[in-house]
Structure 1
Amino acid sequence: MFSTFLSSSEVCLASILILLVHSTLATTLGGNNKINVKDPRIQEILEWTESFIDRETNSVNSVKLFSVIDAKKQIVSGVKYDFDLELAHTSCPKISANDSKNCGFDHSLPHVACKIQVYDQPWTKTRKVLKFSCSDSPTVEPFMKKFETFEKRHKKEYSPEERKRRFAIFKENMLKIAELQKNEQGTAKYGPTKFADLSEEEFKKQFLGFRPDLKSSSPLWPVADVADIEIPEAFDWRDHDAVTPVKNQGFCGSCWAFSVTGNVEGQWAIKRGKLIELSEQELVDCDTLDQGCNGGLMENAYKSLAKLGGLESEAGYPYDGRGESCKFNKTAVRASVTGGFVLPKNETLMAQWLVRNGPISIGINANAMQFYFGGVSHPWKALCSAGSLDHGVLIVGYGVHSVSHPWKALCSAGSLDHGVLIVGYGVHSVSHPWKALCSAGSLDHGVLIVGYGVHKTKFLHRELPYWIVKNSWGRGWGEKVGYLSKNFLLDYRRKRPIHGYYLVYRGDGTCGVDQEASSATVM
């Protein structure tokens, strides 16, 4: 009865206060307690603190926050915050009118380590600095320790000169990782994966390969008709024997071929009732519309396969990750391909098509994938542009996972968002980088969507929808043991590892997931 006298905003505020009381009681009363730096209130105080430090430093260029080393608060007559911060110089002069958020870091200058104590009394609108000291941050030593750990974990061996070069690249990548993590909107975790010693150019050349520049000036295939059906909250083609194990493209830009074979494997299994591992090497060697290890396009591959007649099995034409002369044997075809079609650039329609028809090949911006450990990825679009798709993947499903949002969004609905093959959907942690960090205008990787799902937050029960994406970098990449909690490592419903998969936010075109979706047709 009582709730009927409250407005929706009052109910929302009451819920927040209850959560805050619950959180406060779980800490030491009156003591110095650790705080969640992703809390919107703390984020606002950190922005104020960053501005204060920037004004007080003697540097020519502005500095901005790079990482929060430690953060605590103590309840007094107000709140006293103690921050240990690492700041980095930017490329923008202090006299510039540029917003610091638009200024990139200048890594040629040393970082700044600051200890600062801030007093805040919200009801009197009082905020001031009580203590403040800064010095150059010794960044090389912690980077070296991380690099040594990276070398041991991935069994890296370099000559002395090569090690210097790889360490320099590693440091640059660690700064990128920090930027991705700082701006992550989902639950994704980023860190030094096996690719952390590669430059951006090396990574793109060796492990991506989606080539929009190879697209025909006129459409090759029609747009699919999508039935307007009700879809379940989660769906995954792995549950229906339509997805083969995760494969590894190696040092060859053949992601597009893996996306295509994953799609055809799924289509053939659904239509014929038999799941067969098909040959990527056939496409690398025999598809004359694409460029083998130098990249390709899924839509072109469907045309080549229709001309060839189909795909041989993986066992009959095994993968070796090198472009060689074509050895195609038409009598050995195990899955006949007749053509293809493209899907509408609409994620609701993509999910409806997936549930009815099978996994989907897509192009995606892989900017966030190089350093992805697990969780639901939702980068800023500027870091993962949908206009720069560079990787072909396969979406095998979709889902919803829990996520933290700013206070102002606590009472509002969330939003949704790689080039992959979609085969299903489910419930798990998801990557949701800021769109500025994952632009839909820069697709560079081909993958496979195999499903989708939805994750729900523990307290406020907010929903984070995601796609389940099958990648082609082996089982040693992606969601894996050693980096995340058990809930991140196993699909909640199936209780199985999901090594080699990428979970990406669904619903707002994150990383261009909806820009280049397609499928082959089989006979």
Structure 2
Amino acid sequence: MKLRWASLMLLCCCCLGLEVPWTWLRSHQREAAALRESINRHRYLNSFSYENSTAFYGINQFSYLFPEEFKAMYLGSKPAWSPRYPAAGQTLIPNVSLPLRFDWRDKHVVNQVRNQKMCGGCWAFSVVGAIESACAIQGKPLNFLSVQQVIDCSYNNYGCSGGSPLGALSWLNETQVKLVEDAEYPFKAENGLCRYFSRSKFGVSIKDYSAYDFSDQEDEMAKALLNFGPLVVIVDAVSWQDYLGGIIQHHCSSGEANHAVLITGFDKTGNTPYWIVRNSWGNSWGIDGYAHVKMGGNVCGIADSVSVVFV
């Protein structure tokens, strides 16, 4: 539809003898080229006939971006800059029986999907989402907390230019900063000056956090989810640019962690068990803002860097 309007506008200008601005023409030519490349990429991604493969790819809000543009704008999570917790520092995970399906959304402790827009702040959205849910699990109100506060004030990260969830958790833990509500410090999709609040100001601070590598232990990862709440994870999401739905099992090919998301649950009732993953690209992306990623096999590196937060 966007390109049809662009073509119609160009035709009208030509018919009326109006000069078409070169920058406008070049911009829409670039979008058309990116869309053509997207369509070819979708055909390739959808051409594989793996057993039980259900993921499908197609036109979405990112189809007018070249892959390098998409990666620069939306994949802003960096690998952990601080060392992983040693085994001695990790919170022990109680042994529990795993149900076939579990989702913290069913407990009404997960906020609606948010949209990071053209800000590479996924690292902050994932951490703040985990803190919101941790508070609600303890019986406190499910409030939207300020992502912008983390973007502006987490001095060991780079705001909308990228960051590490572990870096944000380390900063929150060391400083005991209280996160205020989003309405008081709203998201503006760009870096800003850090606003400071008095210690007496209402807000949420964390008590601790723990980080794990569950690359060969996804059942243990599921137990951590049940015991502690939604999990902050870093994934390889390059191919997620084109994702429309189904269970992601393949196509994670960049070989690097580049996007932070929040796991809210899992489902083992079908032929292919999967993680339920909340993204921060708005609810028009994927499955109402969520992705389903196969459990087992560390698909997209989903189990490599997993964090939990305690409030």
Q: Give yes or no for contact 2:85–2:212 (8 Å, CA) kept in 1.
A: no
In the superposition, relative to structure 1, how do residues 153 and 263 fare at CA in structure 2: closer, same or farther (>3 Å)? Answer: farther
Whole-Å separation in 2 of the counterparts to 1:360 and 1:164:
41
Paired residue for 1:105? none
Paired residue for 2:205? 336
TM-superposition CA deviations, 1:41-66 (whole Å, max 9, x none)? xxxxxxxxxxxxxxxxxxxxxxxxxx
Paired residue for 2:233? 362
TM-superposition CA deviations, 1:112-162 (whole Å, max 9, x none)? xxxxxxxxxxxxxxxxxxxxxxxxxxxxxxxxxxxxx464699xx982221
Q: Give yes or no for contact 1:233–1:453 (8 Å, CA) kept in 2.
A: yes
TM-superposition CA deviations, 1:422-475 (whole Å, max 9, x none)? xxxxxxxxxxxxxxxx45x3111000000111353xxxxxx1101111110111
Whole-Å separation in 1 of the counterparts to 2:190 and 2:39:
31
Say whether residues 1:197 and 2:64 are aligned partners. yes
Whole-Å separation in 1 of the counterparts to 2:49 and 2:263:
21
Q: Which has the higher strand share?
A: 1
Alignment of 1:91-102 (within 5 A): none
Q: Which has the higher helix share?
A: 2
Matching residue within 179, 187, 191 for 1:311: 179
Q: Secondary structure at the match of 1:443?
A: coil
Whole-Å separation in 1 of the counterparts to 2:178 and 2:267:
32
Say whether residues 1:215 and 2:81 are aligned partners. yes
Deviation of residue 182 (structure 1)? 1.9
Larger-gyration structure (1/2): 1
Whole-Å separation in 1 of the counterparts to 2:165 and 2:49:
29
TM-superposition CA deviations, 1:313-337 (whole Å, max 9, x none)? 1111111111010013143342221
The number of residue pairs the alignment matches comes to 289
TM-score w.r.t. length of structure 2: 0.87
Instruction: Tell which has more relative contact order, 1 or 2 (C-alpha 8 A, sep 6+).
Output: 2
Deviation of residue 357 (structure 1)? 1.7
Q: Give yes or no for contact 1:249–1:255 (8 Å, CA) kept in 2.
A: yes
In the superposition, relative to structure 1, how do residues 331 and 205 fare at CA in structure 2: closer, same or farther (>3 Å)? Answer: farther
Please tell me the root mean square deviation across aligned C-alpha atoms, in Å: 2.2
For residue 307 of structure 2, what is the amino acid of its counterpart? S
Where structure 2 has 5 or more consecutive residues not aligned to the other structure, the ranges are 10-22
Matching residue within 175, 178, 199 for 2:43: 178
Whole-Å separation in 2 of the counterparts to 1:469 and 1:200:
22
TM-score w.r.t. length of structure 1: 0.53
Q: Give yes or no for contact 1:305–1:338 (8 Å, CA) kept in 2.
A: no
Alignment of 1:435-450 (within 5 A): 438=253, 441-450=255-264
Paired residue for 1:470? 278
Say whether residues 1:374 and 2:245 are aligned partners. yes
TM-superposition CA deviations, 1:228-266 (whole Å, max 9, x none)? 211110001011121001100011000000000111011
Q: Give yes or no for contact 1:224–1:343 (8 Å, CA) kept in 2.
A: no
Q: Percent identity?
A: 33
For residue 468 of structure 1, what is the amino acid of its counterpart? I
Deviation of residue 191 (structure 1)? 0.2
Whole-Å separation in 2 of the counterparts to 1:217 and 1:260:
17
